[in-house]
Amino acid sequence: MIIGITGGIASGKSTASNYLEDQGYPVVDADKIAKEIVEPNKPTLTQIAEHFGQGMLHEDGSLNREKLGSIVFQNEEARLTLNSIMHPAIRREMLFQADEYLKEGNQIVFLDIPLLFESKLTSIVDQTLLIYVPKEIQLERLMRRNGYSQEEALSRIASQMPINEKKKLANVTIDNSGSKEDLSIQLDKYLSNLRY
């Protein structure tokens, strides 16, 4: 069984993923893969350089994230082009890793995908698990964690699908408004229900 785990910014998705890993479950992390596929000499990086120019690379052949970022954040067409290069490569690698874990005999594999619903990736998982917090808690945690002003934190939250929309789309929702211990207890309960 492949389970997509997602959340909103500062909702505790990474904490949940780390806990699941600590319990011995394989977790495939979309963000880690996104970094790996643009390492020097990887086909995805080559495609980016071919499309956006060799100027997107540092002298050592690594991706100049700042330079690429300045282009794609100002130009919607460039951002869509970058996504059309990155997203299929991320999806392929995630599925490859998940498949390897299943071949090794793991019954359950988690795919940690921050933009699971936004990227319309629900078709690649058997179930979606949302780590949820109400927007007020999300705002408070984000300001505390990143040192953002309220305005900065709100703009980061607004750049994602509203967490209450995600709640409507998820198969299972775990409310992470409490402590880390509360989250662990809820995850344990969820896992025991999955096994039987």
Any binding-site annotation on 15? yes
13 marked among binding-site residues:
yes
84 is in an annotated binding site: no
12 among annotated binding-site residues: yes
Q: Is 120 annotated as a binding residue?
A: no
**Segment holding 80, helix H or strand E:** helix 76-103
* Angle value at C-alpha 74, between 69 and 80, nearest 5 degrees: 75
List the one residue out of 159, 85, 87 whose CA is nearest residue 124: 87
CB 133 within 8 A of CB 8: yes
Q: Is 168 within any annotated ligand binding site?
A: no
User: Which long-range CB contacts under 8 A does 119-126 form with residues at least 24 apart?
Assistant: 119/87, 121/4, 121/91, 122/4, 122/169, 124/2, 124/4, 124/91, 124/94, 124/95, 125/2, 125/3, 125/4, 126/1, 126/2, 126/3
Residue numbers in the known binding site for ATP are 10-15
Residue numbers in the known binding site are 10-15
